Structure 1
Amino acid sequence: MIPFFPPDLFEVDRKAMLDILYQLGTSQDEKLILGKATAELERAIAEQTGARHVIACASGTGALTLSVHALDIGPGDEVVVPAFCCQPVASTVANLGATVVFADVDPLTMVMDPGHTESLIGDRTRAIMPAHVFSIMADMPRFREIAERRSVALIEDAAVAQGAVLDGLQAGRWGDLGVVSFFQVKAFGTAGEGGMVFTDDTGLATAVRQLRNHGQDGVNRFLHHRVGYNSRLDEAIARFQLHRLPGFAGRLERRAQIADYYSERFSGLADRGLTPPPAGRNGRCYYVYSLLVERREDLRAYLTEREIGTHIYYPVPLPRQPAFSAIAAPGRSWPNAELVSARNLAIPIWPHLSDAQVEYIADSVCEFFE
């Protein structure tokens, strides 16, 4: 069996994690949250990405919440988000009382469409929130140009794309604020939860740091400048991420090599109803390798018979979800989001797949269409 979500992602790190827990549990001067390891991880990621400010927090969703809140977005404001995406792009806006406006996506790349996004910007729009999805980054140069020209904030949801680079600039660095996630199966996933906010704006960085820790400034305990949250990264996770950071580039490269192989094998199947992600390296993240398949359920059943795990992401677009259907603009449609919800099928791309396993997966997909 080749599972889609491998159960042994951190098996090679087992001893390191046990050592970390023992050291934290027996030390007399270590903090369990927001201690030396968190600060060191923030510095390391800042050096790696070039971001002026990096703020670690409890999750990717927490990072989005802190970012939206730091911009003082609330009732009466609108934020444009993708109609096909993970739920937090909408819930983090709605939970602060602002209005969620859903933009359609590109039918090939599955990321938020810049043209449709701009058409939705109005007098109440405070921010646009493009999200990178699966294998490809959103068109951040165009989104940044739109944001600057229309005088709205740009929040870059790079939760799935840490380490991806577009035109020489890393994911998370294109917006006024950018976020990444350490959820287990992400490219820089961890044995638990975690996330980060990137920004070059000192004022926004101060707001995010306060908001993550109940509005405190980190110097004066019990002095609360804002109504904030408990969104703090714990020291065990920070140490574990520092342990895994040196191998991160190698794991990203392995994912990219697998994607290159898949793309080459599947390039001739478009006329048979299978479209792979756009090939290449610029602006690619390969957190997930998701195909667009006309006969999705048939292919999925075939791969299951051959003991290959698959996954369908977001089978119901966000505006059609019960949680958001009441706030989605009446009379609007999102045809591309509906299309990719009905056709996407992800196949395994985790970095410790063997060459033989990758070849077997590709052979099986090709044999289905033969």
Structure 2
Amino acid sequence: MRTMRTLPFFPPDLFEDDRETLLQAVHDLGVGAGQRFILGDRTAELEDALCKATGAAHAIACGSGTGALELSVRALDIGPGDEVIVPAFCCQPVASSVANAGATPVFADVDPWTMVLDPDATEALITERTKAIMPAHVFSIMADMERFRTIAREHGLALIEDAAVAQGAVLDGRPAGRWGDLGVFSFFQVKAFGTTGEGGVILTDDPGLARACRMLRNHGQDGVHRFLHHRIGLNSRFDEVLAAFQLHRLPGFPDRLERRAVIADYYTERFEPLRGRGVLAPPAGRNGRCYYVYSLLVERREDLRAYLTERQIGTHIYYPVPLPEQPAFTPWAPAQGSWPHARQASARNLAIPIWPHLADTEVEFIADTVCEFFA
């Protein structure tokens, strides 16, 4: 049993209440007459449910959030000679999805507080080779999608919205994943709508892009004629067991999101007095918020982390090295490049637990412990 003073950052019991449902889904598919384990009726049902939840015309379930980004890039026919502007501080698929298509990821700096892609830094990097912009929502904050839509429209660029961490978030009345030509979600285990394995989805209103993504996820086949390949595709197909599991968990998703938001509201209120002591909490509010992760910016990060660890409170540091400074992306990082805000985010971010089944007493204990460190 978990005690109040044993609070891991990644809880091992995220799906404990759904154990029997998952086992039943495995059994039903294993003994079912259809014996179709990928891209079957359950996947189609989940896609339809996500269209209804977001208002998208098309939802294309695939193997992972990374796969969703790769399919999006390829569906836009981005390739050698093209550039895509991506954030310098983010999970690596924003850059690898571009590089794997033979195109050039161009790294733009991020906002020093929200840690999401900076629109001004992005616009300054647009050239005649730029084909798309890929803003990504980070931790608990959506990027400034209205600005990015305007920039993309004015420059004739495609807009890929990496909403992998932001499913369920709403900015100015428009859901995350619905701002670009293509938007992607991730079902990775610890995401807000995570599952027991890998999975992702692409949202779009463009029937041509939807058709391309559906073919590309299944080796370039059209879903009607097997072994007839219209494009060079990938294997990024969605699992029927996971589709059944996600359908089961979908009705409870809004309540889990709300619980995360309530915890975040409490944290932000408690940590506001620490602003003058080198602690910066995420901006308060609900508009454009997802609270997949609650990450502070802390000047004395390692000291605070050690203090929390001693008290059995788990923490996590994301992206400790900015993408353009990673060895894998050296070929695309100009020697004269400068990403000071990305470096600051890498050096200072510290995430604390925000899983939805935290008890109020546990949330208070975490906040009390952070505040005690600075007392």
State the match for 1:358 in structure 2: 363
TM-score normalised by structure 1 residue count = 0.99
Among 251, 260, 268, the alignment partner of 1:246 is: 251
Aligned counterpart for 1:330 among listed residues 335, 344, 347? 335
1 CA distance for matches of 2:283 and 2:33?
52
Partner of 1:100: 105
1:246-281 CA distance string (max 9 Å, x none) = 100000000000000000100111101100000100
- Structural mapping, 1:63-142, within 5 Å: 63-142=68-147
Corresponding position: 1:160 with 2:165: yes
* Pair 1:228 & 2:213 matched: no
Question: For 1:221, what is the secondary structure of its paired residue?
Answer: coil
1:25 paired residue number: 30
SS across alignment from 1:178 = strand
2:242 is aligned with 1:204: no
**Equivalent residue letter for 2:343:** E
Q: How far off is 1:330 after superposition? A: 2.0
Q: What are structure 1's unaligned runs of at least 5 residues?
A: none
1:266-281 alignment runs, 5 A limit: 266-281=271-286
Looking at structure 2, the residues matched to 279 and 327 of structure 1 have their Cα atoms a distance apart, in angstroms, of: 36
2:221 — aligned with what? 216
State the alpha-carbon separation in 2 of the partners of residues 170 and 185 from structure 1: 20
Q: Which residue of 1 aligns with 2:3?
A: none
Matched, 1:174 2:149: no
Q: Partner of 1:326: helix, strand, or coil?
A: helix
Equivalent residue pairs, number: 370
Q: CA deviation at 1:326?
A: 2.5
Uncovered stretches (5+) of structure 2, i.e. residues with no partner:
1-5
Question: In the aligned structure 2, how far is the partner of 1:5 from the partner of 1:161?
Answer: 18
Moved over 3 A (4+): none
Normalised TM-score (structure 2) = 0.98
Q: In the alignment, what sits opposite 2:300?
A: 295
The worse-fitting range, judged by mean Cα deviation, of 27-36 and 193-202 is: 27-36
Contact persistence 1:165–1:283 (CA under 8 A): yes
Of the structure 1 ranges 106-115 and 213-222, higher mean CA displacement relative to structure 2 is found in 213-222
| Structure 1 partner of 2:263 | 258
Secondary structure of the residue aligned to 2:202 is strand
Query: Offset of 1:31 from its aligned partner?
Result: 1.1
Q: Who is 1:195 aligned against?
A: 200
SS for the counterpart of 1:102 is strand
Offset of residue 30 of structure 1: 4.1
> 1:151: which partner in 2?
156
* Residue 36 of structure 1, aligned match among 11, 18, 41: 41
Amino acid at match of 2:206: D
Check the 8 A contact 1:101/1:329 in 2, yes or no.
no
Distance 1:29 1:85 in 2: 41
- Residue equivalent to 1:319: 324
The percent identity for this pair of structures is 74
For 2:138, the aligned partner's letter is V
When the two chains are superposed, the root-mean-square deviation of aligned CA atoms in Å is: 0.5
Q: Separation in 1 of the partners of 2:234 and 2:330?
A: 27
Amino acid at match of 2:270: R
